[in-house]
Amino acid sequence: MQTQHGLAGANTEASLRFHRFHERLNRSLKTQVIGLGMLKDAIDKGETRDGIKEILYAQNDLWGGMPDWGRPQELIDEGRLDIGRAGVVRGFSAFDLFLDNLSAELESYGRFRGAKPKPKGRLPARQGGDGTDDGAAAAEAGLTRYYERIGADLDGVKFLLPLYVYFRVARNCIAHRDAIASGAAEDLSRGDGIRDALEAWPDHTDDMRVPEILPLKEGAEILFTHRQALSNSSILRLIAMDVNEKALTILGVEGVVYAAAKRLLSIPSANDPEIRRSMPATINYILSDRYRVRNVDSLGASRILSSLGMSKRCERRFQSLVGPAGIGGG
């Protein structure tokens, strides 16, 4: 399966939203950890409990009682763990939403083109949900089944599967076992698959930082910090990019133009920054700026829109947004 000309590196609506989440999570994790680091520095330099309280009162950020700063390092360590473990759970929530949204995009275009909807299989988020010993096999099967459902193969990300399954099972333990590792989590963390995946990482990705994998022990607490949350997010991003590429191959140029038309039809007001001086210009802008389609001018989006039978509907929607006077945008 090869991506059509102009669609290499392009976004679907689902991948755009997941990418934005990935960037937002990256910033948020780093900001939170920097904040904890600054708090630790202040305490190390002798800042008192009352001094910290004053700062929080001044910014109206204090509610309830103050923590017991008689054990500041313990509190800061707890904060780091909560940040990291919550980051892993959030990463999978966003990834599963991406898969759901991408399925909806493919099914929407398929129905538009008259294809019969495929029966829905269970998505990875529903697999091995309690982190028990069947979680590893179920997590891998869930992702494999998703690829099969959209008619694609996962050869491009097969080396990532041990890392994906490790974090998926750890996520289940965090969410359903109060961050206590299961036997499956311990086995995964010490298996050859993890080692092989980490060795393959530099040759298969453009990410300079190899994921930081912690050994886990059954019955012990999972001590993930922001480093594991960022590693997990990077792994999920790579899989999402591969799934997105396969989806673009299925959609083709016509399917992406269809998505741009649907985007125009959903714009709530003329104040939206994607609105341009005309309907065709708006479609082209959505294609190039939102979905990052290359060579839009030579794509023939207006012709494709017409062949899809959506030109008049898009024009009516555009006119309802801008009114008779039109708009002077770019």
The stretches of 113-182 forming alpha helices (DSSP H) are 135-149, 161-176
The stretches of 150-268 forming alpha helices (DSSP H) are 161-176, 183-189, 192-204, 226-266
How far apart (Å, rounded) are the C-alpha atoms in residues 247 and 147?
10
Tens digit of pLDDT at every position of the chain (330 positions): 455 667 999 999 999 999 999 999 999 999 999 999 998 888 888 888 778 777 777 777 667 777 777 788 888 999 999 999 999 999 999 999 999 999 999 999 999 998 766 655 545 444 444 445 457 888 899 999 999 999 999 999 999 999 999 999 999 999 999 999 999 999 999 999 999 999 999 999 988 789 999 999 999 999 999 999 999 999 999 999 999 999 999 999 999 999 999 999 999 999 999 999 999 999 999 999 999 999 988 889 999 999 999 999 999 999 999 986 555 544
Q: Compute the chain's Rg from CA coordinates.
A: 24
Helices (runs of H) and strands (runs of E) counted in the chain: 11, 0
Q: What predicted TM-score, i.e. pTM, was given to this entire model?
A: 0.89
Report the pLDDT value the prediction gives residue 327, as an integer from 0 to 100.
Answer: 58
Joined together, the tokens standing for residue 164 give 């994906």
With CA atoms as reference, report the closest residue to 131 among 87, 82, 194, 180. 180
Joined together, the tokens standing for residue 107 give 């099914």
